[in-house]
Amino acid sequence: MTVLSADALLEIRDLKTWFPIRTGVLKRVSGHVRAVDGVDLTIFPGETLALVGESGCGKTTVGRAILRLLEPTGGNVWFRGQNLTGLSLEAFHPYRRQIQVVMQDPGSALDPRHTVRDCIAEGMDAFEIGAGYEDRTRRVAELMGKVSLDPETMWRYPHEFSGGQRQRICIARALALDPALLICDEATSALDVSIQAQILNLLADLQAERRLTYLFITHDLGTVRYFATRVAVMYLGRIVETGPTERIFTDPRHPYTKALLASIPSLDPARRSTRPVALGDVPSPERPPPGCHYHPRCSVRLESCASVDPPVIAFADGVCRCVLAAK
Amino acid sequence: MGTPLLTVEDLSISFPGDGAHRVTVVDRVGFSISAGETLALVGESGCGKSMSALAIMRLVPKPGRIEPGARIAFEGRDLLTLPVPEMRSVRGARIGMIFQEPMTSLNPVTTVGSQVSEAIELHANISGEAARNRVLELFSLVGIPDPKSRYAAYPHQLSGGLKQRVMIAMAMAMRPKLLIADEPTTALDATIRAQILELLRDLSAKTGTAVLLITHDFGVVNEVADRVAVMYAGRIVEEGTRVELLGAPRHPYTQGLLRSIPKPEARGKRLEEIKGAVPRPGHWPQGCRFHPRCSSAFAPCATEEPARTVVSATQSARCHLVAKVVGEARP
C-alpha cells in the first residue's frame, strides 16, 4: 500500500489517530478511541472528494490530521510528493499556506474583536504576503468582491454579518493564501437552505476559476451527489467504500453505503422513500465491534463477519471493504 | 373533517426592543390541525416557527409575550385563558412535546425509566409497579430494544437515537391528542433519522395522535406530513397539502426554497439561489416581506401587504402575483 500515484495532490496512507482513554485517579491509559484506524485516501488536483459518514466516524479527525491540528498516531500524509507527517512544525509551515480549511460554524471561526479586514488579512500577515498594510487592505477588498461581499464593510465586525456572510468571510480568508487544497468541514451544514445554495455556487465558481481542490467533509448526502466528483464513505474509523459519485449513488457496493442512501428523504411528493435499512445504533468508537465494524447493523452479514476483518477489495473505480463485494 | 383539534388564530408574539418599542417575531399566525393529522410548520431560522409552537404550550420565554387578540382553541377550550393549574394538566397529558436536543431535555443524574415514570405519576393516578409496567410498554412502543435493562440506564449511556426515543416515550406517556415535535431529527444521523421518522409515522397511525412538526427540512416534510404551512418573517406565506406544496408550490418563496435544494439532476448546473438573506425580526420590509428577495416582485409588492389568496380548497398563498394570476383565471 505504499505505491503513490504520481498525479495525486494529497495521499493518505494507513492514517491512524487514536485518543487515549484515561480512567481512575491516576489517569492511567486504559484503552484507546480509534477515531481513525488505518485510512487510505487519494485526492487528485481539481476534484471534489466528499468524505461522508455519520457523527463519530472520524471524518473530521482525518481533516484535522491533514492540517496537523493533531498529530496522527501512525501513517503518512503526502502532499505533492512531500511526506508531511515527518516534518517539524517549522518545515510544515509553508504547507499550511497551501492547505486551508473552512469549518461548520463561521461564528466561532472568526475573532469577534477583529474587523473583517483583519480577519481576512490574518493569514497574509502570517505568511508576509503583499507589500505592507495598504497592499493587504487592497487585496482584502478584492477578495471580498470575489466572494460577493461589499468591500466597504471591511471595517465592521463579524457579529454584524449574517451566518451566510460570515461563511463568505471565512472563504475569503482561506483564499487570501491562494491554497491548492481547501478542506470544507461541514461548511454548508449550519446554513439555511437558501443560503446553502449561495455558498455551494460560490465554491463551484471558485473551483472553476482557480482549479481548487476540495476535500468536502459532510453528512449531507444530497449535497454530495450534487457537488462531489468522488466519494469516500467512512464508518467507525475506516473507509468502507470509495468511488465516482454517480456510481456510488446508483450502484453502491457496501451494505452501509446502501443503508445511507436509503435514508435520504425524497422531495418527490409521489413517493415517500426513506427506509430504515441499518439496524440499531452506531456503536461507540471506544468499543468498535470485532470483525467488520458494521456487522451488528448489517442485514446481509455472514457468520464470519463477526470475527474476520473484511479485506479491502480494489475495483477499477474504487475500493470496498466487504467480503460480499468480492463476488 | 369535523371540528379541528387545535385552532390557532391571530397569534402574535413580541419581545422588548429598544426603549418602549417591542419587536414582533410572530405576526398574526393562524392554522388548524384535525385529529390524527400531521401538520408541518416549515421555514428558515428566525421565521418564528418554534416560537409559535411554544405559544401553544404557553411556554414563550420571558420577556416575550403573546399579544392580546390571539386565540388558541384546543379540544374546545381557549388555552390562553385557562387557569395555570388546568394548563399544567394540558401540558404533558393532552399535548406532548419533543425537542431537537434530547441530550439537554433529560436529567443526567436520574435513570431514563424513572424520568418517564415520574411523568406518568404526575398526570395519572398510578404509581409503583403499574407505572413501571406502563413505562416498559411505552419503551417497546417506541422501539427501544431490551426495555427492562434500558429502564435503569442513565441518559449518557444511551445514543442520540435512543435518547430521542425516550423523549418520544415520555411525550406519548399520557396518550396525548397532540404531539409537538420541534426539529425532532435534526441532530440525528441519517440512518437514525430514517428510523425516527418511521416511528413518528407509525405512532401517529397507531395511536391517532395529531402531530405538529416544526422543521426546516422539506425531505422530512415529505416523509411525515399531511399538510404543510410555510413561514417567512413571522407570517405564514403558503399553506396546502403535502402533495400541493411539494408538487405545485405557488408562493415564490416556497418555489425558491425547493429549487435551492441540491438535487441529483442539477449536477454540473448552478443551483438556483434566493438572493440576499432572511431579514431579522425588527427589520422586516414594508409590503410583502419577501419582495426584496423575490425575482417576480412587481408594483404593489413593496408597499401593500398581500392578502391570503385561495388557490384550491386546501391551498392558499399570501402573494400579489398569485392573487393576480388567480384573479385573471376567474373572470
pLDDT digits (tens, 9 = 90+) for A304-324: 999 999 999 999 999 999 999
Average pLDDT, chain A: 90
Comparing B161 with A223, the larger pLDDT belongs to A223
Mark which residues 234-273 of A lie under 8 Å from B by CB: 245, 249, 259-260, 262-270, 272-273
Q: Note the pLDDT of residue A27.
A: 82
Query: Residue B29 above 50 pLDDT?
Result: yes
Residues in chain B with CB shorter than 8 Å from the CB of A265 are: 197, 217, 219-220, 222-223
Nearest CA-CA distance, residue B77 and chain A, Å? 35
Nearest to A59 by CA among A279, A301, A169, A224: A224
Query: Residue B21 above 70 pLDDT?
Result: yes
pLDDT in tens, B234-286: 999 999 999 999 999 999 999 999 999 998 888 888 898 898 888 888 899 99
Alpha helices in chain A (DSSP H): 59-66, 89-98, 106-109, 116-126, 132-146, 163-175, 193-210, 221-227, 245-250, 255-262
- Tell me how crowded residue A180 is: count the other CB atoms within 10 A of its CB: 20
State the average pLDDT over residues B62-78.
94
How far apart (Å, rounded) are the C-alpha atoms in residues B79 and B108?
Answer: 32
Q: Note the pLDDT of residue B2.
A: 64
How far apart (Å, rounded) are the C-alpha atoms in residues B259 and B256?
Answer: 5
* Angle formed at CA A263 by CA A259 and CA A267, multiple of 5 degrees: 145
Maximum mean pLDDT: which of A184-193, B97-106, B267-276, B281-290: B281-290
Interhelix angle A116-126/A132-146, rounded to 10 degrees, is 120
Nearest CA-CA distance, residue B74 and chain A, Å? 30
pLDDT in tens, A139-148: 999 999 989 8
Beta strand B95-98 pairing with B178-182: parallel
B98 backbone dihedrals φ, ψ, rounded to 5°: -130, 150
pTM value is 0.88
Residues A252-266, buried b or exposed e (16+ Cβ, 10 A)? Answer: bbbbbbbbbbbbbbb
State the average pLDDT over residues A288-300.
92
- Note whether A272 and B223 are within 8 A (CB): yes
Q: Which three cell numbers stand for residue B328?
A: 385573471
DSSP per-residue string spanning B179-210: EEEESTTTTS-HHHHHHHHHHHHHHHHHH--E
Q: Which residues pair with B32 in a beta bridge?
A: B7
The percentage of chain B sitting over the pLDDT mark of 70, rounded to a whole number, equals 99
State the average pLDDT over residues B13-29.
91
pLDDT in tens, A114-128: 999 999 999 999 999
Average pLDDT, chain B: 91
How far apart (Å, rounded) are the C-alpha atoms in residues A249 and A264?
Answer: 11
Q: Note the pLDDT of residue A1.
A: 44
The percentage of chain A sitting over the pLDDT mark of 70, rounded to a whole number, equals 98
Mutation choice for B interface testing from A193, A202, A240, A279 by most B CBs within 10 A: A193
